[in-house]
A and B are shown apart, each in its own frame.
Chain A
């Protein structure tokens, strides 16, 4: 099947001629990191590309001062790899303008095999970019966790059909991988480390987050819904077969942002969503909790907003040590009173959840999200029960899966 894939065809013009699906003009535009005015030349290539083209980033370190953008549908941006010294490294340490390193605003774009480092704002953002594929990429703030790092590493928003596969993200001061206000999403086989939130699915519908490693973040994997946004009512999210451990990095998000409220040591955090399944994950050394299920406990003016978690299912996870350093108000006292650690699953008492894992659940018994946390009356809770019908697996268009085979 690979022989007929578009990117191979682009390298083989003869083959391209016999491919009905490939535009006759499909070509590869190569840009070298050593070109004088490399920033401008690369941007020109991204503008000159037409549907079917591959823009090829040469190996080396690109010193970029301005954000790049791609607004042409069905274009591949391909580098020579993500490793320092051999790959295509887009270094934004000297960035002077634009809110992100790379912005994609067109459909059917394939980003692969390059690194984006030290952007001032977000790393790679795609907005209204349907069927985008992020594959084998590195987005990193190389100084490690710092409040001055950009917010999001990989940031698709307002898009349908999103695939994030085999990426590495480190150091984001908000979320390493953030999918917002989107539909039909897969995040898999990726590593998120030393971000505030490793992976965050926010105000989105239908997502599978699986086979990732979320480690050394403040919180590993977050499923959130927030008010007063164009798309809300997040639902149908499966978080499964991930390794979520040692999320112990002190929260370094700028205050005011919702993730600044994530307690250090959180494995999975589900807030104000419905039909979220957390299963088959390996979770340990998350000092606050392996799994936390909460309502949205801030004032809001949005009548359409639903602040409660509903129909949350936690099952078949492997739990290691957790709850030994609960980083929320009153947490230390609760842990001391319970022999040094609170149970691995923490629920604020709002909404409803089924927890069939063979570990304890601590409820804060705050069913009304208007009640301040200081009035928590923690007690063990038994949330065992029959889960609703399992969610179906996310299926992406075949054209997307073909790109990463």
Chain B
């Protein structure tokens, strides 16, 4: 349970000269900074040749509360060009330098020997961020650009033991942007100061490559760790990470008027409390309110999270399985709300 600001401080105490000897190859900065969309993932040099293991100097990181993606295991990494530093704003948003690559690989323990199915890159080029999806070749040695997206049959076992076979959707390039859009431009979602976690081994990287925020930024609760926050706090963390990338005033769901950021007023109608459907269509499931306090069975936010029908399901992209444990948390949160708070 590392707290980020504490981690910064702690990291300063560690000998910061711990940059390990860098064996070749290193990421290819010319390709990263260029304007091409390489056909093969290996051209970036972000992975050790012939493997899905991050290259030296690419820092693995985790998130306190991650986006649910069909129970995939995600391996994340950050590459920042030499000598550059990321800045952290007061709101916890991190401004990464041009030349940065955020890397996320998706795998399932029971699928193809745990080899990744896809890797998504978010590349900060001089004219903005670019999102590129790569699908791994069957031999797991390299991955190929799938700019138009792809459907991949995937089988896995859910945490409760249920066997699942789904048609996993690798997003197309535009769909990457649908979630990563803010006012029409692509931005990173996950790595915000309140949600970012580095293993102890990478604390020197954190200390050296991230300018410390001016004031302490409280960590986001872990959605599934009761020690990290109350049910309501964890539910709000879950909504922030899983919904708010679209459900914010500059996001893809701005017109819905439903805003679910960590910083939004969780008692307001715009947070869904007693909020009638706007453009939900079948997503309302015949219910009157997104969240009906005390009554998760009549809260269509739950209905949409528990559906797999593309005309109903939320999030609209990237979900071919229901996140039972996440939905259970939100059900508990809504059940705990005092009922009958009338307008």
Q: Let me know if B53 is at the binding interface, CB within 8 A.
A: no
Count contacts between A and B, CB distance < 8 Å.
Answer: 151
Q: Let me know if B94 is at the binding interface, CB within 8 A.
A: no
- A257 → chain B, closest Cβ, in Å? 5
9 closest Cβ pairs, A-B complex: A151-B281, A120-B311, A299-B343, A44-B148, A256-B284, A43-B148, A121-B311, A99-B316, A69-B174
Q: Convert A89-110 into 0s and 1s, putting 1 for each residue whose CB lies closer than 8 angstroms to a CB of B.
A: 0000001111100010100000
Q: Let me know if B285 is at the binding interface, CB within 8 A.
A: yes
In the complex formed, the residue of A with least CB distance to B287 is A256
Q: Let me know if A142 is at the binding interface, CB within 8 A.
A: no
Q: Cβ of A180: which chain B residues have Cβ within 8 Å of it?
A: 255, 279
Q: How far is the CA of A132 from the CA of B306 in the complex (A)?
A: 34
Q: Let me know if A122 is at the binding interface, CB within 8 A.
A: yes
In the complex formed, the residue of B with least CB distance to A70 is B174
Q: Let me know if A250 is at the binding interface, CB within 8 A.
A: no
Contact assessment for A47 and B147 in the assembled complex, using a CB-CB cutoff below 8 Å:
yes
Pull 24 A–B residue pairs with CB atoms less than 8 Å apart, ordered by A.
A40-B172, A43-B174, A66-B149, A66-B151, A66-B169, A69-B172, A69-B174, A70-B174, A97-B310, A98-B316, A99-B310, A105-B174, A127-B252, A148-B282, A150-B282, A152-B281, A173-B282, A180-B255, A230-B257, A254-B284, A256-B285, A300-B343, A301-B269, A302-B269
In the complex formed, the residue of A with least CB distance to B151 is A65
Q: Indicate which residue in B252, B254, B279 contacts A151 across the interface (CB closer than 8 Å).
A: B279
Q: Convert A20-39 into 0s and 1s, putting 1 for each residue whose CB lies closer than 8 angstroms to a CB of B.
A: 00000000000000000001
- B268 → chain A, closest Cβ, in Å? 8
Q: Let me know if A353 is at the binding interface, CB within 8 A.
A: no
Q: Let me know if B177 is at the binding interface, CB within 8 A.
A: yes
Q: Let me know if A158 is at the binding interface, CB within 8 A.
A: yes
Q: Convert B308-322 into 0s and 1s, putting 1 for each residue whose CB lies closer than 8 angstroms to a CB of A.
A: 011110001100100
* CB within 8 Å for A44 and B310 given contacts A151-B281, A299-B343: no
In the complex formed, the residue of A with least CB distance to B288 is A256
Q: Let me know if A46 is at the binding interface, CB within 8 A.
A: yes
Q: Indicate which residue in A41, A71, A257 contacts B177 across the interface (CB closer than 8 Å).
A: A71
Contact assessment for B310 and A43 in the assembled complex, using a CB-CB cutoff below 8 Å:
no
Contact assessment for B286 and A255 in the assembled complex, using a CB-CB cutoff below 8 Å:
yes
Q: Cβ of B287: which chain A residues have Cβ within 8 Å of it?
A: 255-256
* CB within 8 Å for A150 and B311 given contacts A44-B148, A173-B281: yes
In the complex formed, the residue of B with least CB distance to A147 is B282
Contact assessment for B172 and A47 in the assembled complex, using a CB-CB cutoff below 8 Å:
yes
Within 8 A of A (CB), among B125-147: 146-147
Contact assessment for B175 and A69 in the assembled complex, using a CB-CB cutoff below 8 Å:
yes
Contact assessment for B151 and A301 in the assembled complex, using a CB-CB cutoff below 8 Å:
no
Within 8 A of A (CB), among B287-311: 287-289, 300, 309-311
Q: Cβ of A48: which chain B residues have Cβ within 8 Å of it?
A: 147
Contact assessment for A157 and B279 in the assembled complex, using a CB-CB cutoff below 8 Å:
yes
Q: How far is the CA of A404 from the CA of B167 in the complex (A)?
A: 40
Q: Convert A227-268 into 0s and 1s, putting 1 for each residue whose CB lies closer than 8 angstroms to a CB of B.
A: 011100000000000000000000000111110000000000
Q: Let me know if A112 is at the binding interface, CB within 8 A.
A: no
Contact assessment for B281 and A257 in the assembled complex, using a CB-CB cutoff below 8 Å:
yes
Contact assessment for A256 and B280 in the assembled complex, using a CB-CB cutoff below 8 Å:
yes
Q: How far is the CA of A119 from the CA of B181 in the complex (A)?
A: 24
Q: Cβ of A299: which chain B residues have Cβ within 8 Å of it?
A: 274, 342-343
Q: Cβ of B93: which chain A residues have Cβ within 8 Å of it?
A: none
Q: Cβ of A255: which chain B residues have Cβ within 8 Å of it?
A: 284, 286-288
Interface size class of A (residues with CB under 8 A): 35 or more
In the complex formed, the residue of B with least CB distance to A155 is B279
Q: Cβ of B285: which chain A residues have Cβ within 8 Å of it?
A: 254, 256
Q: Cβ of B254: which chain A residues have Cβ within 8 Å of it?
A: 158, 230
Q: Cβ of B118: which chain A residues have Cβ within 8 Å of it?
A: none
Q: Convert A147-167 into 0s and 1s, putting 1 for each residue whose CB lies closer than 8 angstroms to a CB of B.
A: 110111001011000000000
Q: Cβ of B276: which chain A residues have Cβ within 8 Å of it?
A: 226, 256, 258, 298
Q: How far is the CA of A105 from the CA of B246 in the complex (A)?
A: 14
- B185 → chain A, closest Cβ, in Å? 11
Q: Convert A54-67 into 0s and 1s, putting 1 for each residue whose CB lies closer than 8 angstroms to a CB of B.
A: 00000000000111
Contact assessment for A121 and B343 in the assembled complex, using a CB-CB cutoff below 8 Å:
no
Contact assessment for A150 and B255 in the assembled complex, using a CB-CB cutoff below 8 Å:
no
Contact assessment for B288 and A44 in the assembled complex, using a CB-CB cutoff below 8 Å:
no
Q: Let me know if B226 is at the binding interface, CB within 8 A.
A: no
Q: How far is the CA of A301 from the CA of B269 in the complex (A)?
A: 7
Most chain B CB within 10 A, of A173, A254, A255, is at A254
Q: Let me know if B275 is at the binding interface, CB within 8 A.
A: yes
In the complex formed, the residue of B with least CB distance to A65 is B151
Contact assessment for B255 and A47 in the assembled complex, using a CB-CB cutoff below 8 Å:
no
Q: Cβ of A43: which chain B residues have Cβ within 8 Å of it?
A: 147-149, 172, 174
- A227 → chain B, closest Cβ, in Å? 8
Q: Cβ of B249: which chain A residues have Cβ within 8 Å of it?
A: 230
Q: Let me know if B240 is at the binding interface, CB within 8 A.
A: no
Within 8 A of A (CB), among B259-284: 268-270, 274-284
Q: Cβ of A136: which chain B residues have Cβ within 8 Å of it?
A: none
Q: Indicate which residue in B148, B151, B169, B175 contacts A41 across the interface (CB closer than 8 Å).
A: B148
Q: How far is the CA of A381 from the CA of B300 in the complex (A)?
A: 41
Q: How far is the CA of A257 from the CA of B281 in the complex (A)?
A: 7
Most chain B CB within 10 A, of A66, A120, A150, A301, is at A66
In the complex formed, the residue of A with least CB distance to B298 is A256
Q: Let me know if B150 is at the binding interface, CB within 8 A.
A: yes
| Other contacts beyond A157-B279, A258-B277: 9, CB < 8 A | A44-B147, A98-B175, A119-B311, A151-B283, A157-B255, A158-B254, A180-B255, A228-B269, A256-B286
Q: How far is the CA of A122 from the CA of B147 in the complex (A)?
A: 24
Contact assessment for A40 and B149 in the assembled complex, using a CB-CB cutoff below 8 Å:
yes
Q: Let me know if A217 is at the binding interface, CB within 8 A.
A: no
Q: Cβ of B268: which chain A residues have Cβ within 8 Å of it?
A: 301
Within 8 A of B (CB), among A280-296: none
Contact assessment for B286 and A254 in the assembled complex, using a CB-CB cutoff below 8 Å:
yes
- B247 → chain A, closest Cβ, in Å? 12
Q: How far is the CA of A50 from the CA of B150 in the complex (A)?
A: 22
- A307 → chain B, closest Cβ, in Å? 13
Q: Let me know if A317 is at the binding interface, CB within 8 A.
A: no
Q: Let me know if A174 is at the binding interface, CB within 8 A.
A: yes
Q: How far is the CA of A202 from the CA of B282 in the complex (A)?
A: 18
Within 8 A of A (CB), among B148-182: 148-151, 167, 169, 172-175, 177-178, 181
Q: Indicate which residue in A46, A96, A150, A229 contacts B257 across the interface (CB closer than 8 Å).
A: A229
Q: Convert B202-217 into 0s and 1s, putting 1 for each residue whose CB lies closer than 8 angstroms to a CB of A.
A: 0000000000000000
Q: Indicate which residue in B255, B269, B343 contacts A230 across the interface (CB closer than 8 Å).
A: B255
Most chain A CB within 10 A, of B173, B274, B311, is at B311
Q: Cβ of B311: which chain A residues have Cβ within 8 Å of it?
A: 99, 119-121, 148, 150-151
Q: Indicate which residue in B151, B174, B281 contacts A150 across the interface (CB closer than 8 Å).
A: B281
